[in-house]
Amino acid sequence: MTSAETAVQIFHKLENEDFRILNIIETAMAKWEFVPLEQIHKYAKIPLERVTYTLEKLDKLNLTYRTRGAYTGYTLNYAGYDCLAINTLLKAKIITSFGQTLGVGKEADVYDALNPSGTRIAIKFHRLGRISFRQTRRKRGYIKEHSSWLFQSHLAAEKEFQALKRAYEHGVSVPQPLSQNRHVIAMGMIEGGELSRYKDIGDTGEVLQELLCNVKKTYLKAQLIHADLSEYNLILQPDGHILIIDWPQAVKTDHQNAKELLERDLKNVLNFFNRKFNLKLTLEDAYRYVTGEAKKLPL
Ligand SMILES: Nc1ncnc2c1ncn2[C@@H]1O[C@H](COP(=O)(O)OP(=O)(O)O)[C@@H](O)[C@H]1O
Ligand SMILES: [Mg+2]
């Protein structure tokens, strides 16, 4: 079970005081790797027995991790961080209920949820460090950098949301950005599958043309470079049109490695079309087109 599934399942068991304690740990994690019990007690302003009772409950539910070294301290697990984000999205009426897993990627889990008007939307939980997190935990108990992974995931969600908004506003085909909290973003639900999964995509020249037209809009209008473009982050919708997803790595076009990153994105896509559909286009032609030097593609 992924941590968001854990979070969704146990969410209804949590009461206000549980959220308060989770919140206190979250805030104090800026300062402490493991937040000492005394600190939690100090900020909670409730009797110690109630603090320890709550901490015991959170620990049993696997929302926190406890260390008993020189002192007893607590840190949030991803599931605890998930609960805080879910609670905020519910309170802000972005979502009313949670559904099923839509995709489990290397660095994110995506779920579906309902918004107050009953429309399905997608919720993406960023999970940086998950792999190294598991491996290190197996090797030496627990990793020190854990709290910084939560922070990095928060940053990734912020970056992705900003990039999505910019791209969306400039008419690039992307999921509609709806909201962001902590390491989570809410966006419009998309249909279809990753381009990598299809054997037959119809008119390959047209698909590539449409894709590069979107890369051009991203570059010239939104002034962004996706920087993680590949057949795994391109969705072919049932109507045959494409969407570009997964934007946390996006950079501005004035980034010092902009040219290199744009070239890498283009190479990934061109290699894929060449390898899979035997469609050939040179990097130079694609580059000239997306940067506006050439009006048309020789396709
Ligand atoms: N808005 C969405 N609607 C439906 N499914 C989505 C949506 N965004 C992502 N997915 C699914 O989740 C998978 C992983 O999402 P992605 O943003 O690529 O994250 P990562 O690759 O970093 O794990 C996608 O390949 C896709 O299958
Ligand atoms: Mg992806």
15 pLDDT more than 50: yes
Q: What is the pLDDT of residue 140?
A: 43
Residue 64's alpha-carbon distances to 19, 23, 98, 149, in angstroms, are: 12, 12, 22, 15
Verify whether ligand 1 is closer than 6 Å to residue 104 (CB atom).
no
Q: What is the pLDDT of residue 75?
A: 94
**Domain-by-domain residue ranges, the chain?**
3-161, 193-290
Annotated catalytic residues are 228
Q: What is the pLDDT of residue 274?
A: 98
**Per-residue DSSP letters for the chain?**
--HHHHHHHHHTT--HHHHHHHHHHHHHTTT-SSEEHHHHHHHH-S-HHHHHHHHHHHHHTTSEEEEESSSEEEEE-HHHHHHHHHHHHHHTTS-SEEEEEEEE-SSEEEEEEE-TTS-EEEEEEE-TTHHHHHHHHHHHSS-TTHHHHHHHHHHHHHHHHHHHHHHHHTT-S-PPEEEEETTEEEEE---SEEGGG-S--S-HHHHHHHHHHHHHHHHHTS-EE-SS-STTSEEE-TTS-EEE---TT-EETTSTTHHHHHHHHHHHHHHHHHHHH-----HHHHHHHHTTSSSS---
Span of 36-45, 99-108, 158-167, 281-290 with lowest mean pLDDT: 99-108
In this structure, the number of other CB atoms found within 10 A of the CB of residue 32 comes to 14
In the numeric block, the tokens 């997306």 are attached to: 290
pLDDT class of 132 with cuts at 50, 70, 90: low
139 pLDDT more than 80: no
Verify whether ligand 1 is closer than 6 Å to residue 177 (CB atom).
no
Superfamily of domain 193-290: Transferase(Phosphotransferase) domain 1 (1.10.510.10)
Verify whether ligand 1 is closer than 6 Å to residue 106 (CB atom).
yes
- The protein residues having their C-beta less than 5 angstroms from ligand 2 (an ion) are 105, 233, 246
Span of 55-69, 127-141, 274-288 with lowest mean pLDDT: 127-141
pLDDT class of 206 with cuts at 50, 70, 90: very high
**Cβ(75)–Cβ(65) below 8 Å:** yes
Instruction: Output the CA 137–ligand 1 centroid distance in Å.
Output: 27
Mean pLDDT estimate for the chain: 93
Q: 134 or 246: whose pLDDT is higher?
A: 246
Verify whether ligand 1 is closer than 6 Å to residue 245 (CB atom).
yes
251 pLDDT more than 80: yes
Show Cβ contacts of residue 148 under 8 Å, excluding neighbours closer than 6 positions: none
Q: 46 or 70: whose pLDDT is higher?
A: 46
pLDDT in tens, 173-189: 999 999 999 999 999 99
Counting ligand 1 atoms within 8 A of each CB, the residue from 124, 168, 180 with the most, and so the one to mutate, is: 124
Q: What is the pLDDT of residue 2?
A: 74
> Which ligand minimizes its atom distance to the CA of 106?
1
Q: In angstroms, how far is CA 256 from the centroid of its own chain?
A: 24
**Predicted TM-score of the model (pTM):** 0.94
What does the pLDDT average to over 147-171? 94
148 pLDDT more than 60: yes
Q: What is the pLDDT of residue 144?
A: 52
Residue with the nearest Cα to atom 1 of ligand 1?
189
Span of 102-106, 192-196, 293-297 with lowest mean pLDDT: 102-106
Is 3-161 in CATH node 1.10.10.10?
Answer: yes
Instruction: Output the CA 84–ligand 2 centroid distance in Å.
Output: 24
Instruction: Output the CA 172–ligand 1 centroid distance in Å.
Output: 17
8-state DSSP, 196? G
